[in-house]
Amino acid sequence: MITLLDYGAGNVRSVRNAIHKLGFEVRNVQSPDDIVTADKLIFPGVGNFGVVMERLVRDGYAEKLVERIGLNKPTFGICVALQTFFEGSEESPGVPGLGIIPGQIERFPDHALSVPQIGWNGIKLRKNNSIFEQYRGEKFYFVHSFKATPSEENKDWILTTTDYGEEFISSVSRGQVIATQFHPEKSGDAGLRLLQRFLENREVVESVVTEGNLRTEPTRIAKRIIACLDVRSNDTGDLVVTKGDQYDVREEGEVRNLGKPVELARRYYEEGADEVTFLNITGFRDFPLQDQPMLEVLKQTSKNVFVPLTIGGGIREFTDSEGNFYSALDVASRYFRSGADKISIGSDAVYAVEEYLATGKKSGKTAIEQISIVYGAQAVVISVDPRRVYVNSPDETSHNTIECATPGPNGEKYCWYQCTVSGGREGRDIDAVQLVTVCEALGAGEILLNCIDKDGTNSGFDLELIQMVKDAVTIPVIASSGAGSAEHFAEVFKKTNADAALAAGIFHRGEVPISEVKSVVAADGIETR
């Protein structure tokens, strides 16, 4: 029996699913004393350092965790859990951590790499630990803006380090206590094997690393390949994966049906997708909490898919027909608790940016702000649905223009990218650069950059748009729309600084397997998982 410390923040369903998948039973911590008495404790962590610490203290868990670790009882901490072992964090100044490991958690400094670090990176073993017995050099999934720094004072705790601009502590251990900055429950087979070693072992064995095992070569983050499933009900009420051409998903009047969401997501996981995204494409007009099937899709998918899951569509505040009010945070929380690791916001982000541009200040009330404060910026993705507007010269518009690779229908040499809402149905008076820069300032952690002109065309990604957006923000950018071949992925990574690339149609129609995309991209010298 494994005991799980669920303190009500973030997605603990994935951890629970991973434990089940490995054949173990899970029970939740019911009272603070359970923390000390549990045989094996898993302490997952998602979200903001201050929020997590506040809950641990409020519920009487913090002092019991310190006691348990002092007693050297088998404990596995994940992500923010690792950070709470330290004395404090720049993320939440003045909030003390558990103070078990010397040092302060710091934000990644400004460097050429995107912050948060989102994606698959390697590790360098600093000592031997039996949980890494079957480790074969794979990468693990990281998602964080803050990190622990190796020092003379904490060196005895360091189990692995990782490079991301600089070297940081990617896992710690002492005796029976282990914590990883990465998410083993989201790191595919490699992560599950690690958890399995912890769950199965009677005892964790530590030793000094031998020469042969010591890895010193720098680790490199992989470019992610993401499979996207646009989901909606068809005319007979079944939830299906569909796919549009320039956002039109109907063919001869019918909604295109390309398969069942849960099955397809599982297939992409097994084929090596680094992440799976669901977009509930009619979420802008339906209220997702009444759309139980979508929550069920997440619950079922997360039982068998152990890479990150993003869900978008309908994340906004809502008042139902009985007058009950739900904040965007309520909606997002339901998604997180159903198995999502990140949520993506489309239309509501456009309205939030319009409000910000009109008032010049943050209201603190937008979905982006509310969700990122509780779950962390890395959990908030902005899905941008831009459409090209052609102009003869940049002076014709106040918007951010670029010289287009191919001229417009009337020979126009320039274009700007107009943001749309409601699944591309309505254009608004803001451009993609305005949108992403304000969203970043409001607390978004990643951009999913679609392009209506390219969607479903198989003609390759919109490289100019992607680089323009990438230059405007420091958060990761996912290139989306237009992939028609494995070579298009290699091209987008060579010609832009995109952190990830996403496709839908070519995967659904079975035209290019994910493995082929990976091998073509890797053959070009680009880091993949």
Among 346, 443, 460, 476, the residue binding ligand 1PR under the rule CB under 6 A is 346
Stretch that binds ligand 1PR, among 111-119, 258-266, 281-289, 468-476 (CB under 6 A): 281-289
Query: For this structure, is 185 an active site residue?
Result: yes
Fill in the per-residue mask, 180 to 219: x = in contact with ligand 1PR (CB under 6 A), - = not in contact. ----------------------------------------
Distance, CA of 76 to CA of 95 (rounded, Å) = 23
Q: Which is nearer to ligand 1PR, 301 or 383 (CB)?
A: 383
Contact (CB, 8 A) for 460 and 481:
no
From residue 279, give the alpha-carbon distance in Å to each of 161, 168, 342: 35, 34, 12
436 binds ligand 1PR (CB under 6 A): no
> Exactly one of 79, 228, 404, 439 is catalytic; which is it?
79
Q: Confirm or reject binding of residue 10 to ligand 1PR (CB under 6 A).
A: no
Strand partners, 326: 318
**383 binding ligand 1PR? (CB under 6 A):** yes
Q: How far is CA 245 from CA 136, 312, 451, in A?
A: 42, 19, 11
Alpha-carbon gap, residue 493 to 500, rounded angstroms? 8
CA of 72: how far to CAs of 33, 128, 173, 197, in Å? Answer: 16, 18, 11, 17
Q: Name the residue nearer to ligand 1PR (CB basis): 305 or 382.
A: 382
Under rule CB under 6 A, which residues in 221-260 are in contact with ligand 1PR?
228, 230, 243-244, 247, 249
**Binding string, residues 306-345; x marks residues near ligand 1PR by CB under 6 A:** ------xxxx----------------------------xx
Evaluate whether 103 touches 151 at the Cβ level (below 8 Å).
Answer: yes
- Return the range that interacts with ligand 1PR (CB under 6 A); candidates 29-37, 207-215, 400-408, 480-488: 480-488
CB of 483 to ligand 1PR, least distance (A): 5
Residue 291 lies near ligand 1PR (rule: CB under 6 A): no
Of residues 125-164, which lie at the interface with ligand 1PR (CB under 6 A)? none
Closer to ligand 1PR by Cβ: residue 119 or 313? 313
Q: In this complex, which beta carbon is closest to ligand 1PR, that of residue 49 or of residue 335? A: 335
The length of the chain in residues reads: 529
Q: Which helix (H) or strand (E) holds 517?
A: helix 514-523
Nearer to ligand 1PR, 145 or 347 (CB): 347
Query: How many CA atoms within 13 Å lie on the side-chain side of 414?
Result: 13
H or E segment to which residue 80 belongs: helix 80-84
Q: Check 144, 183, 488, 508 and give the catalytic one.
A: 183
Structure tokens at 85: 């072992």
Residues 384-423 that bind ligand 1PR (CB under 6 A): 385, 423
Total binding residues for ligand 1PR by CB under 6 A? Answer: 33
Q: Are 113 and 81 in contact (CB under 8 A)?
A: no
Decide whether 297 or 503 has the Cβ nearer to ligand 1PR.
503
Residues 90-109 touching ligand 1PR, rule: CB under 6 A, are none
Specify the stretch interacting with ligand 1PR by CB under 6 A; choose among 71-79, 153-161, 261-269, 275-283: 275-283
Our finding on whether 281 is near ligand 1PR (CB under 6 A) is yes
Q: Which residues of 484-493 are buried (b: 16+ CB within 10 A; e: fewer)?
A: bbbebbbbbb
Residue nearest to ligand 1PR (CB): 423
Q: Which two tokens stand for residue 90?
A: 């720049």
Tokens of 329: 């945070």
Smallest separation (angstroms) from ligand 1PR to the CB of 98: 37
Active site residue: 6, 91, 163, 185, which one?
185
Shortest Å, Cβ 498 to ligand 1PR: 14
87 as an active site residue: the answer is no
Rounded to an integer, what distance in angstroms lies between the CA atom of residue 355 and that of residue 327? 17
For residue 114, what are its two tokens?
């995107």
Residue 284 as a binder of ligand 1PR (CB under 6 A): the answer is: yes
Q: What is the DSSP string of 199-226?
A: HH-SS--EEEPPTTT---SPP-PPPEEE
Interaction between residue 348 and ligand 1PR (CB under 6 A): yes
Cβ(123)–Cβ(171) below 8 Å = yes
Among 230, 291, 348, 462, the active-site one is 230
CA-CA distance, 467 to 469, in Å (whole number)?
5
Which one, 279 or 329, has the nearer CB to ligand 1PR?
279
Beta-strand relationship, 88-89 and 104-107 = parallel
C-beta of 271: minimal distance to ligand 1PR in Å? 16
Q: Are strands 75-78 and 177-180 parallel, antiparallel or unpaired?
A: parallel
Confirm whether 385 is a catalytic residue. yes
Question: 478 and 457 in contact (C-beta within 8 Å)?
Answer: no
Closest CA relative to residue 233, chosen from 150, 290, 301: 290
CA nearest to 314, candidates 376, 379, 241, 383: 383
How many CA atoms lie within 13 Å of 432's alpha carbon, on the beta-carbon side?
Answer: 31
Min. distance of Cβ 296 from ligand 1PR in angstroms? Answer: 19
> CB 475 → ligand 1PR: shortest distance, Å?
17
Q: Contact at 8 Å (CB) between 85 and 172? A: yes
The interface mask with ligand 1PR, positions 484-513, x = CB under 6 A, is -------------------xxx--------
Contact call for residue 347 and ligand 1PR (CB under 6 A): yes
Residue ranges binding ligand 1PR (CB under 6 A): 228, 230, 243-244, 247, 249, 279, 281, 283-284, 312-315, 344-348, 383, 385, 423-424, 450, 455-456, 480-483, 503-505
Q: Report, as residue numbers or ranges, the catalytic residues.
A: 79, 183, 185, 230, 385
